[in-house]
Amino acid sequence: MAPSLGSNSRLSIFVLSLAIISGGLSGWAPPLWRSWAIATYNQILAWAGPQTPPAGLFLVAIDDASLQQGQWFEQQQNAPGWSKGLGQLPWSRASYAVLVEKLRAAGAEAIALNVLFEGPSSRSPKDDSQLAATLARHKGHVVLAAEMLEPNDSQGAGGLSLAPPLLALQKAAGGSKALGLTNMLKGEDNAVGPHPEAYISQVLKPHGFG
């Protein structure tokens, strides 16, 4: 059955409208488009309201209250050894070792430490060895932080690189499979851009991710 004149008219209007929209978007500045997309996404999240986290997920935060409690412990005559230095940041790596031990004893199956342990400890080699020993005991249950970097040289050229934790800690935790990225790079409009192809080819695969 041949389409009626009305159907042809509606089809023409639809095609023309699609062409106008496509042409308009192609001429729209990408930063403006990304900003609009991010604003829309944020609004959708706001409409969705607070989300209930999984029942087995817990966040252990180091906040002002944590530091105040650490300072209180430091003023006590019989303060436990693990409380030493908890009143200020950065905490010793041995303190994170104690935290891992306590979380595992409490039943935590997986622990992600969102702290970049880059380079040797500024305190002492023993500080690193204590954390390494704990990571080795709980290998497969602790993930260490790694950070993406996008340095620029004097000519303005850039590239992607990975800032991993101290190699001894990384090995103790289980190698590159025990690393997790803590950040995403920002685009020209200061919006987070995942750079998926660059991540995969320059960072993830060379360092054993995925």
β-pairing verdict for 142-149 and 161-163: antiparallel
Question: What is residue 5's predicted lDDT score, i.e. its pLDDT?
Answer: 47
Residue 47 — pLDDT band, cuts 50, 70, 90?
confident
Question: What is residue 74's predicted lDDT score, i.e. its pLDDT?
Answer: 82
- Per-residue tokens: 134: 């704990």
**199: DSSP letter:** I
User: For the ranges 23-37, 39-53, 96-110, which has the lowest average pLDDT?
Assistant: 23-37
CB distance 74 to 84 below 8 Å: yes
Phi-psi group of 49: left, alpha or beta (phi > 0 → left; psi -120 to 50 → alpha; rest → beta)? left
Q: What are phi and psi of 163, to 5 degrees?
A: -100, 100
Residue type, position 152, single letter: N
- Per-residue tokens: 182: 């803590």
Residue 189 — pLDDT band, cuts 50, 70, 90?
low
CB distance 118 to 164 below 8 Å: yes
Mean pLDDT of the chain: 78
Which one is predicted more confidently, 60 or 130?
130
Query: Percent of the chain scored above 90 by pLDDT?
Result: 31
CB distance 85 to 97 below 8 Å: no
pTM of this structure: 0.67
User: For the ranges 13-17, 147-151, 202-206, which has the lowest average pLDDT?
Assistant: 13-17
pLDDT over threshold 50, residue 103: yes
